[in-house]
Amino acid sequence: MKTNSDQFKSKTNFNMSKKLILPFLLIAALSGCKPDEDNTPQGDYETGVFISNEGPFGTGTGTVSFYNRTSGSVSNNIFEIVNNRPLGNVVNSIEVHNNKAYIVVNNAAKVEVVNVADFTSMGVIENVGTPRFFIGIDDTKGYLTDWNSGIKVIDLATNTISSTIATGGTGPEQMALIGSEVFVANLGGFGNDNTVSSINTTTDAITSTLQVGHRPQALTVDANGKLWVLCSGIQDWTVPANDTPGKLVRINPTTKTVELELSFATSSDHPISLITNTAKTKLYYSLNGGVYEVDVNATSLPSSALINRSFYNIGVDPVSGYLFGSNALDFVQNGYVVRYTLSGTVVDSFQVGIIPGNFYFN
């Protein structure tokens, strides 16, 4: 039986997966040298890049890979090797807070908590519905988005749920912490939402709910302190006439107002992934087999791609400044991560687990 995460991923990314397979069957032909691949745990994961690999849809287990910036080595399946048990299905995301890594396992309805230095288990947050993303608030509190019920407030001392916040929208996805408030994109889960909510992290009360485009799924903050929201738009496989184009929206988090809306050209344009460069002066997103770059002061969307290649997800390493792109291949075999300069030149590539998804740069 497909999980919530499986159904969402397979529906929204099926068109992208078709583009992924053919261009990357010859991944070894990419220019640049591959980093050394070493599946033996290094014993120190405090400085490097974590990759959450979802694992095969509905079966098996997801994994976590680690790229060591200093040695250039790659360690795969580090949780199971260190703790002698699998993570479970589906590994959606990973976040580090207070020297602990929080690994969100969607289908298993849990968050695994590990010591980031050696990846030994420190506890499990269980029975959390359909978890998507975690964010640390302070030393005692974290938030976890749950498609079933809203935001789970996590007591970090006991790894338990202390309360639940109804976001005012459905299917909460990514979050961004700005000052004393968390902004959350209400994707809609299996349906369609078009709102972004803000939460006072002291009182856990909703302070605003703003309308943006359909299916807001990614958030990032720029150098000016403005919040950017990437909305993928409605993609109705049964009735394509219901499709709506994606939008890139800028919000002033102080006044809680929408300052700018940039709509994509056609109803078949459904962008995914939104990140910034290290200086937070440029935005990057994926659309129709390409990665695009936008200046944060721009008032229009670019017409040509920076990188002509499809990715399942993208990230920018704030230390090296390189762009990381995850390639899920056929969603059955182990995937790859490809690194680029921000001028669009390939640096190298390395193999990770099945369906590499999200990155955490530590």
Query: Could you read off the pLDDT of 11-44 as tens digits, one per residue?
Result: 344 333 333 333 333 333 344 445 655 444 445 7
- The encoded tokens of residue 195 equal 């709102």
Query: Could you read off the pLDDT of 252-272 as tens digits, one per residue?
Result: 999 999 999 999 999 999 999
Asked if 188 and 170 count as a contact pair (C-beta separation under 8 A), the reply is: yes
The whole-number pLDDT of residue 32 equals 45
Tokens 């589906």 correspond to: 90
The whole-number pLDDT of residue 37 equals 52
Query: Could you read off the pLDDT of 67-121 as tens digits, one per residue?
Result: 999 999 999 999 999 999 999 999 999 999 999 999 999 999 999 999 999 999 9
Query: Could you read off the pLDDT of 269-312 as tens digits, one per residue?
Result: 999 999 999 999 999 999 999 999 999 999 999 999 999 999 99
| pLDDT, mean of residues 50-60 | 93
The pTM (predicted TM-score) of the whole model is 0.89
| pLDDT, mean of residues 161-169 | 95
> What integer best gives the mean pLDDT of the chain?
90
Q: How far apart are CA 52 and CA 90, in angstroms?
A: 10
- The encoded tokens of residue 144 equal 């976890």
Asked if 209 and 229 count as a contact pair (C-beta separation under 8 A), the reply is: no
The whole-number pLDDT of residue 208 equals 97
* Beta-carbon count within 10 A of 303 CB: 7
Angle at Cα 244 formed by Cα 242 and Cα 245, nearest 5°? 155
- pLDDT band at residue 250 under the 50/70/90 scheme: very high
Asked if 302 and 292 count as a contact pair (C-beta separation under 8 A), the reply is: yes
Query: Which of 156, 188, 191, 186 shows the shortest CA–CA distance to 174?
Result: 186
Query: Could you read off the pLDDT of 333-353 as tens digits, one per residue?
Result: 999 999 999 999 999 999 999
The whole-number pLDDT of residue 34 equals 57
